[in-house]
Chains A and B, each alone.
Chain A
Amino acid sequence: MKLFKWCFGLLALLITCGPVCAQQEPVKIGVMNDQSSIYADLSGLGGVEAARMAVEDFGGSVLGQPIQLVSADHQNKADVAANLANRWYDAEHVDVIVDVPNSAAALAVQAIANQKKKLVLISTGATSDLTGPKCSAYGAQWTYDTYSLAAGTARALIQEKALKWYFITADYAFGHALQADTTKFITAAGGEVVGSSLAPFPTQDFSSFLLSAAGSSADVVALANAGGDTINSIKQAREFNLFQKGKRLAALLMFISDVHSLGLNTAQGTVLTTGFYWDLNDATRAWSKRFFERRHAMPTMTQAGVYSAVTHYLKAVQAAGTKDPLAVMKKMQDTPVNDFFAKDGKLRPDGRMVHDMYLVQVKTPEESKYPWDYYKVLRTIPADDAFRPLKEGGCPLIAN
């Protein structure tokens, strides 16, 4: 009986101590991404490194306590991500989760963040639903989304008189969404979709779809897919001489790591929209060279986004004087984002961080003068044009 009383007392003490103890705990940042599966090169360990750099550059401590950084591999699985998020928020006192590639995982983690009232800053997760119907007061989407990719590439190419489009679409939710979003812009800007092929997801061999695309009257062949599908499509597009008849290739979602693995010979001429390029200006170059020293690869837009998001978060914590999620989020929204990643970027109430995007084209081998000199910037898409207007997203937080 005595033992029972003791145990009960100890338990009560622990439970009450919990919230009290939490006040004195240091800020803990958790970087969750795919380190072993198809998206491992987009962010992966590079994203973790970017977060580490942000913490170091910030000084390593905030509110008088050292900043803790943890990371984990969600293996591109939504349930592993959900599990990790639950455990991190509940048992390990993580204050903010960063990165989260894979739209399913990102949606799951944002829902959990909303429930547990903790923050999540998404860099790699793509779906625009994160700032639309599934938006959260505790979540932010930093680097890009499917809407901005579609808007950027479609509008920009049509301005360059590429009016007829052919889609090769990965037959799943992401591919369909990307095609639908892009089509809206095409038709709004006066263009026309002359045909499309639905490729099963995933596919190794795009020859039959490329054949149909080659035979069509399209000016642009748009790839509404990502990762390995995009790489295979481009490789085989070159093989099947798609460019001979003057067609352009638009990859709706592509990263510099993809270009690196394709090689310039194969990828040259491809048009894409990106949120960041390492070689834009002195500031981006300076940071990227530091990143290169650690990772031996130039940063992708999502890795740069992780750095920017973490830095902005830490600055907000310091300015607000507290870890309290909503207070920090308000500070993040009130302060413009000004670093090498974004100039006068703004975090909107729906969680969308709006900043300039860039329409780029992959250089030819002759145009490339040094390693990783892959893109030439065709035009800069100003922030307000690049992202979906606040009222159109369907985010329940935005009163109409």
Chain B
Amino acid sequence: MTAGKFILWTCALAIAIVLPFFVYPVFLMQAMALAIFACAFNLLLGYTGILSFGHAALFGSAAYVCGYAARSWHLPTELAILCGVGASGLLGFVYGILAIRQRGIYLAMITFALSQMIYFIAVQAPFTGGEDGLQGVPRGYFLGLVDLGNSLNMYYFELGVFILTLLLIARILDSPFGHVIRAMKGNELRTVSLGYDVERLKVMAFVMSGALAGLAGSLKALALGLASLADVQWHVNGEVILMTLLGGLGTFFGPIVGAFLVLSIQNYLATLGGIVTIVEGVIFATIVMTFRRGIVGELQPLIEKMMGVRGREHRGIRPRGYIIPSP
């Protein structure tokens, strides 16, 4: 790593450490959870080229499972998170198995249907509390020692998890697996012809994306102390797409930027009444029409140009139907 990058990362870390003293920590925790969620979605769409319109169910089901594990089974925090991740990973597996037979819009619609089914199950199932939601999720203790009920402690815990997750995603993307899924996005047929088992890879991508989305859901449930139907509603699917697109599809930091921005809009405009959805819609429409590469997608080439570094790969969605591979 170059000296310049080292300084950049240290500064970022320093800011992250002092941030909770200036910005409300619970908000930051939610933002980090949503950022992971957006990264998970980006893994599937931006890097593998699969549009899933059902990620809300992965996020929300993990929130419920983790919350239930922490509250009713009294599991320690780390185990509760693992339960959530396991549940959503499993769900991601199911999604993968069912979805890989499809392409493009049909795949998206199958994920949508699955997510709707999970929603209706959540409405009915006694353990979710239905309309009341799963309340009173305890934050527990980190390693049995540090009381996570203190928001500051919880923030640092989540910050640690967040950084580890980002490192994990970076590792995945740099691995052979990461390269192959990008190849799949670019040209699936050619990848098949090179001998890769495309179906198995897609399922793996779904499982990973599902598990990460589940991690986000678990963190959110712990941070806020509750899991509710709002997490599994189909509008959340649209929101995560908005976050990813706004930040920059196919970029590494884009989804994080997008998540922070969208959450800020939602929370700080909440005082202005009901115009939040209108504002979201307008921003969404503007991005789609004119600003397709997203914030990071637009800025990154500029920064790279300034720093004299050659951009490595094409960001965002390619034109002419690359997301939905032509048959």
> Using Cβ atoms and an 8 Å threshold, which residues of chain A touch B274?
35-37, 40, 73, 75
Task: Of the listed stretches B8-16, B205-213, B221-229, B285-293, name the one at the interface; the rest are far from the partner chain.
Answer: B221-229
Q: Return the CB mask of A179-207 against B: 1 if under 8 Å, else 0.
A: 00000000000000000000011000000
Q: Which residue of B lies closest to A71 (CB)?
A: B271
Question: Do residues A77 and B270 form an inter-chain contact, with CB atoms below 8 A?
Answer: no
The distance in angstroms between the C-alpha atoms of A11 and B22, with both chains bound, is 11
> Using Cβ atoms and an 8 Å threshold, which residues of chain A touch B271?
70-73
Task: Of the listed stretches A84-92, A243-251, A352-360, name the one at the interface; the rest are far from the partner chain.
Answer: A84-92
Question: Do residues A75 and B276 form an inter-chain contact, with CB atoms below 8 A?
Answer: yes
Q: Return the CB mask of B263-283 against A: 1 if under 8 Å, else 0.
A: 000110011111111000000
> Using Cβ atoms and an 8 Å threshold, which residues of chain A touch B275?
36
Question: Do residues B135 and A108 form an inter-chain contact, with CB atoms below 8 A?
Answer: yes
Q: Which residue of A lies closest to B271 (CB)?
A: A72
CB distance from A306 to the nearest CB of B (A): 16
Q: Which residue of B lies closest to A48 (CB)?
A: B273
Chain A contact-residue range equals 35 or more
B132 contact from A35, A87, A127, Cβ within 8 A: A127
The distance in angstroms between the C-alpha atoms of A84 and B267, with both chains bound, is 8
CB distance from B137 to the nearest CB of A (A): 10
The distance in angstroms between the C-alpha atoms of A70 and B271, with both chains bound, is 8
> Using Cβ atoms and an 8 Å threshold, which residues of chain A touch B151?
90
Question: From residue 105 to 123 of chain A, which have CB atoms closer than 8 A to chain B?
Answer: 107-108, 111-112
Question: Do residues B231 and A79 form an inter-chain contact, with CB atoms below 8 A?
Answer: yes
> Using Cβ atoms and an 8 Å threshold, which residues of chain B touch A79?
220, 224, 226, 228, 230-231
Q: Is A377 an interface residue (CB 8 A)?
A: no
B129 contact from A90, A112, A173, Cβ within 8 A: A173
> Using Cβ atoms and an 8 Å threshold, which residues of chain A touch B267?
80, 83-84, 87
> Using Cβ atoms and an 8 Å threshold, which residues of chain A touch B272?
73
B270 contact from A45, A74, A102, A172, Cβ within 8 A: A74
> Using Cβ atoms and an 8 Å threshold, which residues of chain A touch B131?
102-104, 172-174, 201
Q: Is B24 an interface residue (CB 8 A)?
A: yes
> Using Cβ atoms and an 8 Å threshold, which residues of chain B touch A11?
21
> Using Cβ atoms and an 8 Å threshold, which residues of chain B touch A111?
135-136, 225
Q: Is A150 an interface residue (CB 8 A)?
A: no
Question: Do residues A84 and B228 form an inter-chain contact, with CB atoms below 8 A?
Answer: no
The distance in angstroms between the C-alpha atoms of A75 and B270, with both chains bound, is 8
Q: Is A82 an interface residue (CB 8 A)?
A: yes
Knowing A35-B273, A103-B132 are in contact, say whether A82-B226 is a contact too (CB < 8 A).
Answer: yes
CB distance from A113 to the nearest CB of B (A): 13
Q: Is A259 an interface residue (CB 8 A)?
A: no
> Using Cβ atoms and an 8 Å threshold, which residues of chain A touch B226?
78-79, 82, 104, 108
CB distance from A252 to the nearest CB of B (A): 15
Knowing A77-B230, A78-B228 are in contact, say whether A84-B129 is a contact too (CB < 8 A).
Answer: no
Question: Do residues B270 and A104 form an inter-chain contact, with CB atoms below 8 A?
Answer: no
Question: Do residues A172 and B133 form an inter-chain contact, with CB atoms below 8 A?
Answer: no
The distance in angstroms between the C-alpha atoms of A53 and B89, with both chains bound, is 52
Question: Do residues A82 and B24 form an inter-chain contact, with CB atoms below 8 A?
Answer: no
The distance in angstroms between the C-alpha atoms of A36 and B135, with both chains bound, is 23
Q: Is A258 an interface residue (CB 8 A)?
A: no
Q: Is B30 an interface residue (CB 8 A)?
A: yes
A107 contact from B135, B266, B270, B276, Cβ within 8 A: B135
Q: Which of B133, B136, B225, B277 counts the most A-chain CB atoms under 10 A from its CB? A: B133
CB distance from A188 to the nearest CB of B (A): 26
Knowing A83-B26, A83-B30, A87-B26 are in contact, say whether A36-B228 is a contact too (CB < 8 A).
Answer: no
The distance in angstroms between the C-alpha atoms of A102 and B131, with both chains bound, is 8
A residues lining the B interface (CB < 8 Å): 11, 35-37, 40, 45, 70-75, 77-80, 82-84, 86-87, 90-91, 102-104, 107-108, 111-112, 127, 171-174, 200-201
Contacts beyond the supplied A36-B273, A83-B267, A172-B130: 8 A-B pairs with Cβ under 8 Å: A37-B274, A72-B271, A84-B267, A84-B270, A90-B24, A104-B228, A173-B131, A174-B132
25 cross-chain CB contacts under 8 A: A11-B21, A36-B274, A36-B275, A36-B276, A37-B274, A71-B271, A73-B270, A73-B272, A75-B274, A78-B133, A78-B230, A79-B220, A79-B228, A79-B230, A80-B267, A82-B226, A83-B26, A104-B228, A107-B133, A111-B225, A127-B132, A173-B129, A173-B132, A200-B120, A200-B123
